[in-house]
Structure 1
Amino acid sequence: MTNLEFHGSAPAGGAVAGAVTGPVDLEGDLASLPGDGARMAPRWTAPAAAKASPVSPSRIHGVRVPAGSARLLEAMSDYGD
């Protein structure tokens, strides 16, 4: 897991309003992720959905990729490196 370093004087467990109290588990597992997400959800707002307008096919001209980038991608395996 990532080696996290903390600098400062904030107490473990958080003194911020709405923070989780008690010991902080920095080595959490996958089972703790849904609960972590549920606790963070009220603090995050989703932007209003932008409605995409259709683009005329005559305005689509393709994608140009530099030769060096194309060679790099060609040399990669199908499942990533």
Structure 2
Amino acid sequence: MMAKRKTKSTKPILNRIKEVLEEQGKTQTWLAEKLDKDFVTVTRYVNNHRQPSIETIFEIAKILKVNPRDLINS
């Protein structure tokens, strides 16, 4: 019997938070502190394992001083 191979999930990248943080030289820890959210929650947003609410997108945009549209992958 052959073992099943695990295939890597091809989840779509829905937000650009990670890219914007990298462009600005900011860390996930820094963003978690500014949002007053748990580091794990922010990591899930950054890695597109979970999507932030619209309200949180606007809050992140304000903190990073970008247009909310810059955080959404279109």
Q: Do these two structures clear the TM 0.5 threshold for a shared fold by scoring above it? A: no
TM-score by length of 2: 0.27
Larger Rg: 1
Decide which structure has greater helix share. 2
TM-score by length of 1: 0.25
